């Protein structure tokens, strides 16, 4: 079962920042937070991941609360091509005696509007 909670849908105006929240109140110390997105009829695409520090890459920023019970994915300037389902996943660190497999929840459908 997925161990994260996300709103089912969100809207964002084109050019504005999209802030996608995720609750993972039962996260363990050896679990990372991963974000993927799935554009319609395609395979999921990795976005970003983090443990406890905030992370930024060319696609997005990830803000993790100090208690690690929630996080926010930020797309700084959303475009129409960012319309997709965004999945927040907690994943056990590989090497802990498991495969680090990804368990997906229902995700958040982000609709970027012109």
Partner 1 sequence: SQTIHQWPATLVQPVGSPLSLECTVEGTSNPNLYWYRQAAGRGLQLLFYSVGIGQISSEVPQNLSASRPQDRQFILSSKKLLLSDSGFYLCAWSRPEYTSINTEAFFGQGTRLTVV
Q: Which residues bind partner 1 (CB under 8 A)?
A: 2, 32, 34, 38, 41-46, 49, 87, 93-95, 98-107
Integer CA distances (angstroms), 106 to 2, 89, 94, in order? 9, 10, 23
Please report how many Cα atoms fall inside a 13 Å half-sphere around the Cα of residue 33, on the Cβ side: 29
Question: Given the complex with partner 1, which of 75 and 91 has the nearer CB atom?
Answer: 91
Question: Given the complex with partner 1, which of 15 and 98 has the nearer CB atom?
Answer: 98
CB of 85 to partner 1, least distance (A): 8
Which tokens is 9 given? 């849908």
């Amino acid at each position: 079962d997925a161990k994260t909670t996300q709103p089912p849908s969100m809207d964002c105006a084109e050019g504005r920042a999209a802030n996608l929240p995720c609750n993972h109140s039962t996260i363990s110390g050896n679990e990372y937070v991963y974000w993927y997105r799935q554009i319609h009829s395609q395979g999921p695409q990795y976005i970003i991941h983090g443990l406890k520090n905030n992370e930024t890459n060319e696609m997005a920023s990830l803000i993790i609360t100090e208690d690690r019970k929630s996080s926010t994915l930020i797309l700084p300037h959303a475009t129409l091509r960012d319309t997709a389902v965004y999945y927040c996943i907690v994943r056990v660190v590989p090497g802990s005696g498991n495969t680090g497999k990804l368990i997906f929840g229902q995700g958040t459908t982000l609709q970027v509007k012109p």
